[in-house]
Structures are given as C-alpha cells and as structure tokens.
C-alpha cells in the first residue's frame, strides 16, 4: 500500500484513477497544478507521484527533482504530449518511469507495482545479485546465467546489462546507458545500438524479435522482466 | 596655352641669360644657363617641348653664340659638344620626367579609383534589401561615364529586376533591347554577369555615356559588378535567413497547436480507456456505485470527444468558407432561446437573465451555426464567470442591426489576451481544463462573420470586472423577412 499523489489538471482523470487505485489498496491524494503538488508533498508523506507534465502553472519536469530528492517519492510521468524529448528530460531529471496517455489501466498498475516493489526492496546493503526464474545477474562475480547456462558478457555489455537489471521493468534512457557503458553521455548512439544488439544476440531467444530487452523508441530500453535483488 | 607661354618665357630668359654670360666671357656658365632652361622646359612640358627647346637652343647657340657668330656651321669639336649635350640632356630629362609624371598620374588615378570603389562599397554596404542595391549604386555611378545601371537577377527561367519588380520571361529581351539601344541612341552598353559564391546570380547592364569604354573603365565596371554581386548575394542571403526564421516560427506554432490538439483529444480518450480498463480488469474490484460512476464518466468523455470533433469540423467549415446558399432567414429571438436552452442542459446550475426586445428580429444566417455561435458565448461566460453571478443575455434591435450581448460578472480578460481571444486554440492563462480546445470564440466569430455580422468583446466592464461579448447582425427589413418566410 502506498500513498499516491496524482498531479493532473484534468479532474476527470483523477476521478477515474482514484477508485481504481483505492480498490487495489493505495491511498490517493490529488493536486491540479504544480503549486498544489508541492504543497501536498510537503504536507503528506507521498510514496509515488503520478505526474502529468502539462500543468497549467509549471512545467511538470521541474517538479521531479523536489519530489525525488526532497520528498523521497518515486515519480511516474503520465504525459499526453508524446514527445520523446519531454520523456527523456523527465527520466534524466530522475523520473522512474513514464506512461503515455491514453494508457491501459493494467499497464499503469503494473508500472506502479514495479515502483512499489523497488521501494520495499530498498535497503542500505549492497545488492549481490538480481534473480528471476530464468535469469541471474551476479553483480559481485560479474556473471550472467540464463536458463542455467552461463552467458559470457564483455565488461561493457555487462555494465549495460547491469544497469538494465537494476531498473528491471522500468525504462532506462540512452543517456543513462551511455554513462554506464562509456562514462560519457555524448557517445555515438550507434555504439549503444551495437552493444544492445550484441546483448540481444546472447540473451534473446529470437534477437530479431526481442522479448527481454525492449526498445522504447526514441527514449531508451526496458528490461521486460522483474528481477529480485539479493543482498 | 599658358603652359606653352610660360615655356617660351623660360626659353627667352635662358637665351637672355646665356647671352649675358656669353658677352661677359663666361662660356661655361652660358652653356649651363641654357641647359638649365632646356631641362626646366623638359620637366614642365614633357618630351616634345623639350626636344623643340633643345633643337632651338642648339640652333640659337650655333647661330648666335658660337664662332662664327650669326651663321650656322660646325667648325670644331668644341662646337659639336654643346649641341649634343643640349639634345641628350633634354632627351634624358624629358624621358625621366615623363616617367615620373606617368607614375604620378597612375598613382593619382589608382587613388581616385580606390576612393571611388570605397564609396561604391560603402553605399552597397547600406543596402539590406536586394531592391535597394541598384538605387544605392546609381547614386555614385554617373560620374564615371555610366549613364545607367540595371540589375537583372535569375528567377527560375526568367529574369527579375528587383528595383522595379518586373519579371521578364523572355530571357533574351534585356539583351536584344540593349542592341536596339545601340542603334537608336548610339549608347554603348556593357552586360556583365553577376557571379555569386553559389553560381550565377544574374547580370548587370551598364549604359555608357562615353562612346567606347577603354580597358581601364571596363575593368572598373568589372570591379563594380563584383561588388554588386557581393551586395546582391548578401541581400539574398539575408532574405533567406529571414524566411527561414519565419518558417521556423510558424513550424513551432504548428507544433504547439498540434501538441495542444492532441492533448485535448487524448484527455477524454485517457479517461475512457482507463475507466473501461478498470471495469474489465481482473485485479481491480470496484463497488457497484464506483462502477456506475466510471460508466457515467465514460459517457461524459464520449460526449466531450464528440464536441471536440464537432468543433474541429466547424473550424474546417469556417476555413473552407461557408456557402451563401446555406443561409436562410432566421428569427434571432428563437435561436437565442435555443442556445439558452442548450446551455441549461449542458450546465444544469447555470443562472441566465434574459432580456429580449419585443418583436421579430429576422436575420440571414444558418440556424444551426448561429445557435452554436451563441451557445459558445454563453458556455464561455458560464465557464469563466458563471460562479460570480448570473449571465445576462440581451437582445436589442435598431438602425438595421440586431445586437445580442452575453455579459458575465467574471474576472474579465487581461489586456494582452483581449486581442487574442478570437484566435484559434487560444486558451487564457490559468483556464486549465475548463478551456476545452480554445475554439469556442473562434468558431463564434467565424460563423457570425459568415452571416455578415461582427463580434466584439468588452472587458473588463465598468466596475473592473466582467466581460461582454456583443454579436451584431444586419436585420432583414420586414418585407424581405415576409418574402423569405
């Protein structure tokens, strides 16, 4: 159960989401503009913010930093603008994920679950490995095991895959991957694409129809599985 | 003439000086004085005068001074030496002076040319529009033996004369015209291509007032043309830049509009999809009353989508023009009544004060569009001023016009916004989701103007708040209305 703040200037959207989120056990607070949103995060302990970027008084992106850093809330951006640069900016600003309007309610609930899981898993101890039914990513030993088979990854491939694993289920921007792999946000995008292709060759059943490492067009990549951290 | 007279005076003085020296028995001084005279003349007047002076000097020397006096004759080497000396000195002096003069003259010419070019280039620098280039250069050119300058620029397969705006599709005509002038006016003309960094720009036609351009003036024309080419190209680039900027601005505007429209259309779809998804979802179990609420909100948002679609269609109609055959005679009172009824259904809590002038008020309009226009005004008034008091809808007629005013007691409109309320997709600051798509007033204005009417907004009203939108439509005369009815 989380305390969720919905920031949207459209009352009808809040009115629709509120009963849905309440029915799956969350508590809902609402705000209609940036000022109200900032007031809410200061007054109540908010776990997750569903943030519409097109607010009447502020650019939603500018709210992400205070929500993440000051209030310690996670942020899922919900935007009708569908502009890649907006999403990228929001994610680089620290948003955990984004959902395009209109969205399937199950999709939104799934994204919310990923955030909730991440919040409960959070602890001070370093993660030793990430595991799912099929996949083990051993951070300490820098090993990947897929369906019981050890997969050899080059150091750069491992660095990229590790970042995707840490944010499993959530989108990771190209910029974030470039920093992880090359320590620089301005690497040729072609390099990144090549490495993603290499990872898919090694990890996907059918690299031409990826199911594990999904492309978020214009934004980045998403590891389409939920991994549990082990400490 | 003055020069020749002065030369003659110098010559006479030299002769006199020589004579005096000679009779004082100073033959060397005599020769030197004479020589000085010859060299002076050479310096002043060049080779020919110097030679004339030298020959005359040698003759006079021979005739008057050397022995035997008063007759010609070379008796000894002593006699021949001054003769040769006079001539050689005169020749050398004249040649050297000539060279000096020539280079001085060239230096002067080069200087004046440079000064002229500087003037031309200064003038051309000040031209920012390609139309001005010709005018600027015309101001300085006539001094230089050119009676007119015409600039023709390539425009596709035609030539364009920027200073007059003429476009000449017959590309040969400017050239033929030139030859005709040659015969009729006996004016020489020179055509030089304007070459820019990206190829040929067109050509310049100089008409010359001198009959034949010498090589110097033709190279000058070449230089002027080169400067014209630079100026023309600069102006063209400036224009391109300005156009590109304007295009970028309109692209940005279009992007903003599209983003605004897509936002407006997506919002209801989002609600519909989320609500329908929640009703179907296995993981969401809602109490019955919530389910009903979600269903209601789906229906509401469908209506909203339908309204937006209708608005976009209205905008399309306005932009493509409303045909006159769609207009009919309508009773304004009746249409206003329908709009009010429509508004009462859309906003059940609306408060409207009606104040309709008695009698019939017939106008020429399309009933559905007029009703939509009036509804949009009432709807707007309710959205932005409905909470502050009743909305007044009044109708009055007079002087051939009917006026419908919709007045609210809301906060009014900012000065900056008042100009823009009738523009497409305009939403007032902070109007948020109330605003809809920002098309209501645009549509109202479009329709009213199609009926030959006007729409004006007054805000804030006396007392510092409130907004009044007035629609004025031409009233049909009673008989016209009767015939139409």
Cβ of residue A83 closer than 8 Å to a chain B Cβ = yes
Q: Which residues contact B339 (CB under 8 A, 6 or more apart)?
A: B371, B374, B375, B378
> And the tokens for A147?
């369906």
| Contact yes or no for B282/A110 (Cβ under 8 A) | no
Query: From the list B281, B283, B433, which residue is nearest A10 (CB)?
Result: B433
Q: Based on the domain organization, do B92 and B167 belong to the same domain? A: no
Q: What is the pLDDT along chain A (231 residues), one digit of tens a residue?
A: 899 999 998 889 999 999 999 999 999 999 999 999 999 998 989 999 999 988 888 888 899 998 988 888 999 999 876 677 888 889 988 899 999 888 999 999 999 999 998 888 766 567 888 888 889 999 888 889 999 889 999 999 999 999 999 889 999 999 999 999 898 888 888 899 999 999 999 999 999 899 999 998 888 999 999 888 887
Chain B positions touching A103 (Cβ under 8 A) are: 270, 273-274
Burial of B252 (0-12, 13-18, 19+ CB in 10 A): exposed
Cβ of residue A103 closer than 8 Å to a chain B Cβ = yes
Chain A positions touching B278 (Cβ under 8 A) are: 16, 19-20, 23, 105
| CA A116-A118-A122 angle, 5° bins | 120
In the A/B pair of chains, how many CB contacts fall below 8 A? 90
Cβ of residue A81 closer than 8 Å to a chain B Cβ = yes
Q: Based on the domain organization, do B56 and B143 belong to the same domain? A: no
Helices (H), B207-287: 215-280
Which residues constitute the domain of residue B60? 2-105
Q: Based on the domain organization, do B138 and B91 belong to the same domain? A: no
Cβ of residue A110 closer than 8 Å to a chain B Cβ = no
Q: What is the CATH number of domain A129-230?
A: 1.10.10.10
Chain A positions touching B267 (Cβ under 8 A) are: 10, 12-13, 80, 101
Sign of CA dihedral A183, A186, A187, A193: positive
Burial of A170 (0-12, 13-18, 19+ CB in 10 A): buried
Q: Based on the domain organization, do B100 and B135 belong to the same domain? A: no
Q: Based on the domain organization, do B61 and B137 belong to the same domain? A: no
Q: Based on the domain organization, do B134 and B239 belong to the same domain? A: yes
- Tell me B282's DSSP state: S
Query: From the list B270, B293, B301, which residue is nearest A80 (CB)?
Result: B270
Burial of B211 (0-12, 13-18, 19+ CB in 10 A): exposed
pTM over 0.90: no
| B27 assigned to some structural domain | yes
CATH of the domain at B452: 3.30.565.10
| Contact yes or no for A200/A155 (Cβ under 8 A) | no
3-state secondary structure string, A174-187?
HHHHHHHHHCCCCC
Q: What is the CATH number of domain A3-121?
A: 3.40.50.2300
| B424 assigned to some structural domain | yes
Q: What is the pLDDT along chain B (485 residues), one digit of tens a residue?
A: 577 888 888 888 888 887 788 778 777 787 788 778 877 887 777 777 777 877 777 777 667 666 666 666 555 666 667 667 767 776 787 778 778 878 888 898 888 888 888 888 888 888 888 888 888 887 777 666 777 788 888 887 788 888 887 777 766 666 655 544 443 344 567 788 888 887 888 888 887 776 555 666 677 788 888 888 888 888 888 888 988 888 888 787 777 777 777 778 888 999 999 999 999 988 888 899 999 999 999 998 998 898 888 888 888 888 888 888 888 899 898 899 999 998 998 888 999 999 888 877 889 999 989 999 999 999 999 988 878 889 999 998 877 899 999 999 888 888 888 888 888 888 776 565 566 788 889 999 999 999 999 999 988 888 888 899 999 999 887 666 665 54
CB–CB of B277 and A24 under 8 A?
A: no
Q: What is d(CA B167, CA B240) in angstroms, rounded to the nearest whole number?
A: 20
Residue of A8, A9, A11, A20 to mutate when probing chain B, most B C-beta within 10 A: A20
CB–CB of B266 and A57 under 8 A?
A: no
Q: Which residues contact B383 (CB under 8 A, 6 or more apart)?
A: B431, B434, B435, B436
Q: Which residues contact B79 (CB under 8 A, 6 or more apart)?
A: B62, B66, B67, B73
Q: Based on the domain organization, do B158 and B80 belong to the same domain? A: no
Q: What is the pLDDT of residue B210?
A: 63
DSSP result, B414-476: -HHHHTTTTSTT---TT-GGGGTTS-HHHHHHHHHHHTT-EEEEE-S-TTS--EEEEEEEEBP
Cβ of residue A36 closer than 8 Å to a chain B Cβ = no
DSSP-derived pairing of the beta strands A97-100 and A129-131:
unpaired
Q: What is d(CA B114, CA B227) in angstroms, rounded to the nearest whole number?
A: 13
| B431 assigned to some structural domain | yes
CATH of the domain at B163: 3.30.450.40
Domain edges within chain A: 3-121, 129-230
Provide the percentage of residues in chain A whose pLDDT is more than 70.
97
Last residue of a domain, one of B90, B105, B120: B105
Nearest chain B Cα distance for residue A29, angstroms: 18
Q: Based on the domain organization, do B325 and B460 belong to the same domain? A: yes
Q: What is d(CA A126, CA B131) in angstroms, rounded to the nearest whole number?
A: 73
> And the tokens for B9?
């005076």
Last residue of a domain, one of B243, B268, B283: B243
Q: Based on the domain organization, do B352 and B468 belong to the same domain? A: yes
Q: Based on the domain organization, do B435 and B366 belong to the same domain? A: yes
| CA B125-B131-B132 angle, 5° bins | 35
Number of domains in chain B: 3
| B114 assigned to some structural domain | no
| Contact yes or no for B189/B207 (Cβ under 8 A) | yes
Q: What is the pLDDT of residue B274?
A: 93
Q: Based on the domain organization, do B335 and B475 belong to the same domain? A: yes
Residue of A nearest to B289 (CA): A19
Q: Based on the domain organization, do B396 and B461 belong to the same domain? A: yes
């Amino acid at each position: 159960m989380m305390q969720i703040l919905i920031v949207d200037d459209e009352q009808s959207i809040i009115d629709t989401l509120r009963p849905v989120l309440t029915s799956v056990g969350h508590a809902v607070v609402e705000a209609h503009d940036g000022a109200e949103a900032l007031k809410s995060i200061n007054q109540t302990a908010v776990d997750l913010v569903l943030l519409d970027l097109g607010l009447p008084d502020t650019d939603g992106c500018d709210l992400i930093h205070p929500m993440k850093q000051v209030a310690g809330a996670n942020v899922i951006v919900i935007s009708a603008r569908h502009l890649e640069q907006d999403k990228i900016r929001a994610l680089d600003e620290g948003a955990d994920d984004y959902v395009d309007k209109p969205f399937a309610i199950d999709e939104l609930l799934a994204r919310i679950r990923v955030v909730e899981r991440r919040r409960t898993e959070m602890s001070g101890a370093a993660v030793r490995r990430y595991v799912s039914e099929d996949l083990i990513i051993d951070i300490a030993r820098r090993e990947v095991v897929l369906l019981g088979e050890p997969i050899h990854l080059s150091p750069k491939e491992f660095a990229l895959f590790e970042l995707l694993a840490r944010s499993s289920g959530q989108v990771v921007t190209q910029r974030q991957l470039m920093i992880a792999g090359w320590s620089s946000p301005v690497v040729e995008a072609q390099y990144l694409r090549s490495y993603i292709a290499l990872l898919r060759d090694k990890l996907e059943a059918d690299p031409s129809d990826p199911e594990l490492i999904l492309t978020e067009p214009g934004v980045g990549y998403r590891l389409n599985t939920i991994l549990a951290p082990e400490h | 003439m003055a020069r020749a007279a002065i030369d003659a005076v110098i010559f006479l003085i030299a002769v006199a000086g020589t004579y005096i020296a000679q009779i004082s028995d100073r033959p060397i001084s005599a020769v030197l004085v004479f020589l000085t005279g010859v060299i002076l003349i050479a310096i002043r007047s060049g080779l020919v005068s110097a030679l004339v002076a030298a020959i005359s000097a040698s003759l006079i020397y021979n005739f008057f001074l050397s022995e035997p006096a008063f007759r010609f004759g070379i008796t000894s080497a002593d006699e021949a030496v001054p003769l040769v000396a006079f001539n050689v000195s005169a020749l050398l002096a004249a040649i050297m002076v000539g060279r000096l003069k020539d280079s001085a003259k060239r230096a002067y010419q080069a200087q004046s040319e440079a000064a002229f070019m500087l003037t031309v280039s200064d003038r051309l620098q000040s031209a920012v529009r390609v139309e001005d280039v010709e005018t600027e250069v015309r101001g300085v050119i006539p001094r230089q033996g050119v009676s007119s300058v015409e600039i023709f620029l390539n425009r596709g397969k035609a030539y364009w004369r920027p200073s007059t705006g003429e476009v000449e599709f017959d590309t040969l005509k400017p050239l033929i015209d030139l030859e005709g002038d040659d015969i009729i006016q006996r004016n020489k003309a020179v055509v030089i291509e304007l070459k820019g960094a990206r190829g040929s720009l067109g050509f310049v036609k100089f008409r010359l007032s001198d009959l034949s351009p010498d090589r110097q003036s033709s190279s000058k024309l070449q230089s002027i043309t080169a400067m014209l080419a630079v100026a023309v190209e600069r102006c063209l680039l400036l224009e391109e830049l300005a156009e590109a900027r304007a295009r970028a601005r309109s692209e940005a505007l279009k992007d903003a509009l599209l983003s605004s429209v897509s936002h407006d259309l997506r919002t209801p779809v989002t609600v519909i999809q989320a609500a329908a998804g929640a009703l179907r979802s296995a993981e969401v179990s809602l109490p019955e009353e919530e389910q009903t609420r979600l269903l209601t909100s789906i229906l509401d948002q469908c209506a909203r989508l339908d309204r937006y679609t209708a608005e976009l269609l209205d905008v399309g109609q306005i932009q493509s023009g409303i045909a006159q055959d769609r207009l009919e005679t309508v009773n304004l009172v009746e249409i206003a009544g329908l709009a009010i009824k429509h508004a009462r259904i859309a906003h059940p809590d609306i408060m409207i004060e009606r104040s309709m002038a008695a009698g019939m008020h017939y106008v020429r309009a399309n009933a559905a569009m007029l009703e939509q226009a009036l509804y949009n005004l009432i709807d707007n008034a309710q959205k932005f001023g409905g909470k502050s008091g009743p909305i007044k809808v009044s109708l009055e007629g007079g002087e051939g016009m009917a006026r419908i005013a919709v007045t609210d007691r809301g906060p009014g409109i900012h000065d900056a916004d008042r100009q823009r309320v009738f523009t497409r997709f305009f939403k007032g600051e902070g109007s948020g989701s109330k605003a809809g798509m920002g098309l209501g007033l645009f549509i109202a204005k479009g329709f009213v103007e199609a009926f030959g009417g006007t729409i004006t907004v007054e805000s804030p009203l006396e007392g510092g708040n409130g907004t009044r939108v007035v629609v004025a439509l031409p009233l049909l005369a009673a008989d016209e209305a009767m015939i139409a009815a």
